[in-house]
Amino acid sequence: MSFIKSALIALLLAPSTGMAQGIDDLYRDARVAEEAGNWVAAVDIYGKIIKDNPEQSMALFALSKASLKIDDLRGAQKSIIGAIEKDPHNENYRAFADEIGKITDGLKDGRRSHDNRDYPSAIRKYDALLAEYPEFATLHYYKGLSLQGGGSTGDAVKSFRTARQLNPREEKYSKAMRTMAVRQYQEGERFYRIRDWAPAQEHFETALDIDPTFSQGYYRLARTLSQQGLVTQALDILEKSIRTNPAYLTAYLEKGNILRSEQRFKEAASAYRAALSVDPDAYRAMVGLGQSLKAENPTQASKHLKAALALKPDNITANEMLGEIYSEQEKYLQAKPYLEKAVELKPDDHVKLWRLAYVENNLGNFESAKLLARKSVGIDNKFQPSWFELGKARKELNEIPGAVAAFKKAETGSDRSTAADASRERKQMKSSGK
């Protein structure tokens, strides 16, 4: 048994005769706190005793030991020096001061080795101290730093985790864990950007193993899994993220996005509503909810999309979706400004150009429809719907050869519905002598 432990037991069993009743009560409270492992409370109580009774060397001694329990090495040194000043002949105090000196010197020695990048030597020195003082969290922390410096990520994590368990109040232990998690996350991001999914997944999983509270890691892992078609696993990860941090908006949004991509629109709508319960001004959730409701309830979908545009007028998707809803309802005048905005925001998107060309044709603006359709097929020469709109516009402008050529293009491809419409248009033109 170390001297620290034996001295603590002796202190707890020591009689308190000769002291005022108030001090007796405080000592009793301190012992109860120590037995419960509440060393912070014990430090506070001993501090009260010393404040009212500055000559209490035993309280300074007890405060020194309690301070060591919460990683306050300087506080422990200060208190034991004070105890010795009050009672210079007390051998227990001097022996404990020697123990603190041994820890202090050992830490300095280990840190010198670490600073010189002699990580194996630093680890050996910390291990020697930990053999005697396994409950001193700071030693585990510094050992973790040296293990990390030497590239032993897994062992470093164990040391940091032990330090945090021994002293959860010390933020630097949690920060050390988060720093390691962030490094793994950044490595995962590097592979994610080049679409190398397997190593990206491995690094994101390691980041979460290091720090299970790292919300962004769950999001990226879910994205990586969904990119590999592992939808069920991705949704499971997002559920875990939400359980870990119910206020993490991105997890709800990604859950909604994945469900919507799987055409599970009711479930997607629930996820987006959950996102809005976290942040009522989350315009991306409004857009996703609008997209999810579009087929079942276009009126409600429009309401949510307009709410998103009130917050983010330049949202491309909301503008395009509103334009599409009104087009499907044959409300072309209402559809037009939204689609114009979508094209303005993304002028090289052939689908958005086609949607606006369709509206212009239905409004009788054939010259505008022709220009938009031509631009669309200039971007994607195989996009049949734009060839069809170009054919319609040129037909109405009496540009018959151009219309026939456009309809023929619209007939070529895998879009059978558009091909059938184009064939029918061309036959009608032929039968009417055009």
Summarize pLDDT for 228-281 with one digit per residue, the tens: 999 999 999 999 999 999 999 999 999 999 999 999 999 999 999 999 999 999
12-26 pLDDT per residue, tens: 444 444 444 488 888
Looking at residue 17, what is its pLDDT?
A: 42
> Contact, 429 vs 404, CB < 8 A?
yes
What CA–CA distance (Å, rounded) separates 394 from 164? Answer: 73
C-beta of residue 102 within 8 angstroms of C-beta of residue 111: no
pLDDT tens digit sequence for 156-183: 989 999 998 888 888 899 899 999 999 9
Angle (deg, nearest 10), helices 21-35 and 57-69: 20
User: Residue 114: which of 136, 77, 139 has the closest Cα?
Assistant: 139
**Domains of the chain as residue ranges with CATH:** 3-166 (1.25.40.10), 170-275 (1.25.40.10), 286-337 (no CATH), 347-434 (1.25.40.10)
pLDDT over 60 at 4, yes or no = no
Distance CA 127, CA 104 (A): 14
What's the first-to-final CA gap in the chain, in angstroms? Answer: 106
DSSP secondary structure letter of residue 344: H
Residue-wise pLDDT for 321-333, tens only, equals: 999 999 999 999 9
- pLDDT at residue 433, rounded to an integer: 66
pLDDT category of residue 66 using cuts at 50, 70 and 90: confident
pLDDT in tens, 75-131: 888 988 888 898 888 998 898 888 888 888 989 999 999 999 999 999 999 999 899
Residue 200 has pLDDT above 90, yes or no: yes
Q: 395: which DSSP letter?
A: H
Q: What span, in angstroms and rounded, lies between the C-alpha atoms of 209 and 185?
A: 11
* CA dist., res. 315 & res. 327, Å (int): 19
Give the SS3 label for residue 15. coil
Residue bearing the bigger pLDDT, 46 or 370: 370
Contact 50, 39 (CB under 8 A): no
Asked whether residue 5 carries a pLDDT value surpassing 90, the answer given is no
- Give the CA-trace dihedral at 33, 37, 43, 44, to 10 degrees: -50
For the residues 288-306, what does the mean pLDDT come to? 96
| Cα 326 from Cα 343, distance rounded (Å) | 16
Runs of H (alpha helix) within 262-399: 265-278, 283-293, 298-311, 316-328, 332-345, 350-362, 366-379, 384-396
Among residues 80, 99, 75, 100, which one has the least CA distance to residue 90? 80
**What is d(CA 68, CA 137) in angstroms, rounded to the nearest whole number?**
9
Q: What is the mean pLDDT of the chain?
A: 90
CA-CA distance, 230 to 294, in Å (whole number)? 26
Is the distance from CB of 107 to CB of 142 less than 8 angstroms?
Answer: yes
- Percentage of the chain with pLDDT > 90? 68
Nearest residue to 256 via CA among 186, 346, 278: 278
Burial of 347 (0-12, 13-18, 19+ CB in 10 A): exposed
Euclidean distance between CA atoms 151 and 106, whole angstroms = 23
- The CA-based diameter of the chain, rounded to the nearest angstrom, is 123
Confidence of residue 54 (pLDDT cuts 50, 70, 90): confident
∠ CA 1-86-21 to the nearest 5 degrees? 85
- pLDDT at residue number 434: 60
Other CB atoms within a 10 A radius of the CB of residue 266 amount to 10
Amino acid at 303: K
Q: Which two tokens stand for residue 406?
A: 């456009």
How many angstroms from the chain centroid is the CA of residue 225? 16
**Does the pLDDT value for residue 39 go beyond 90?**
no
pLDDT of residue 10: 47
Q: Which two tokens stand for residue 183?
A: 């490094």
DSSP code per residue over 206-266: HHHHH-TT-HHHHHHHHHHHHHTT-HHHHHHHHHHHHHH-TT-HHHHHHHHHHHHHTT-HH
Two tokens, residue 223:
């994205």
Q: Name the percent of the chain lying above pLDDT 70.
A: 95
Helix H segments across 135-230? 137-149, 153-166, 171-193, 197-210, 215-227
Give the per-residue pLDDT at 9. 44
Tokens of 314: 């330049």
